[in-house]
Every structure is written in C-alpha cells, then in structure tokens.
Amino acid sequence: MTYFTPPPPPGVPEVTVDQLAQAQAGGAQVVDVREPDEYVTGHVAGAVLIPMAQVVARSGELARDGPVYIVCATGQRSGKAAQWYRSQGVDARNVAGGMKAWIAQGRPVVEGLDPT
C-alpha cells in the first residue's frame, strides 16, 4: 500500500524508508516525534522518542556531527520538526511516509519505550 504524503516543508531534504533503513544499519541517529502512545506500539530500532511538543526543549540532545533522521506516523510532523532542527544547524532529514510506510514495507519494529 502506498501512502500519500505532501511534500516536506521548503528546504527540508526527504528520504525514503529504504534510505532510512540503510542509514539506521550504519548507526545513524533516528528521532521519532510521535506521542509516547504511538511510539510504544512500534518504532524503528534505536529511534529516540522526542515528542513534537518537546522538540525545542530537547534540541540539545541531538548529535550535530551527521544527519539526523526524523520520523513520525506519516511524515507531516517530522517534516515540521526537521525544518525547525535545520534552522538550528542540525542536518535533519524527513522520512517520507513515516512509520506507516516503514511498516507497510514489512520493516521490523520495536515495541515499548526502550529505543532498542
């Protein structure tokens, strides 16, 4: 199943689920901006939960030495978060289709609050 996602905000690079999987396998930083009740039902292994409402307050937690992949349910919230992170000098990239696309491709998910 293909999910429609609107284009990311201007200036925000967008990556596919395949590109996220490659980056994740290489140890890239992944941030999930969904709410905790969404995150616990299934997230990308290693994805750190920073709910959208905490993005600004917790921006100091992000590494700034490489790309950061931002994911949500469909790519909308993550696009907005990535746009803000980029304004702060973070190389943030929006994951097109978000977790819905990840799951639709049969990619593995981790349940619970632990990132791994």
Largest CA distance in the chain: 36
Is residue 78 situated within a structural domain?
yes
Is residue 5 situated within a structural domain?
no
Enclosing domain of residue 74:
14-104
Mean pLDDT, to the nearest integer, of 52-57?
96
pLDDT in tens, 57-114: 999 999 889 999 999 999 999 999 999 999 999 999 999 999 999 999 999 999 999 9
pLDDT in tens, 17-27: 999 999 999 99
Is residue 110 situated within a structural domain?
no
Is residue 22 situated within a structural domain?
yes
Going 74 to 36 to 46 to 68, the CA torsion angle's sign is positive
Q: Exactly one of 30, 62, 72, 73 is catalytic; name it.
A: 72
Q: What is the CATH number of the domain that holds 26?
A: 3.40.250.10
Is residue 91 situated within a structural domain?
yes
Task: Evaluate if residue 1 carries a pLDDT over 60.
Answer: no
Tell me the HSE value of 26 on the side-chain side, using a 13 A CA sphere.
11
Mean pLDDT, to the nearest integer, of 5-11?
66
Q: Residue 11: what pLDDT?
A: 82
* Neighbour count for residue 47 (Cβ, 10 Å): 25
> In this structure, what token pair is assigned to residue 21?
């999987």
- Quick check: is 72 catalytic? yes
Is residue 71 situated within a structural domain?
yes
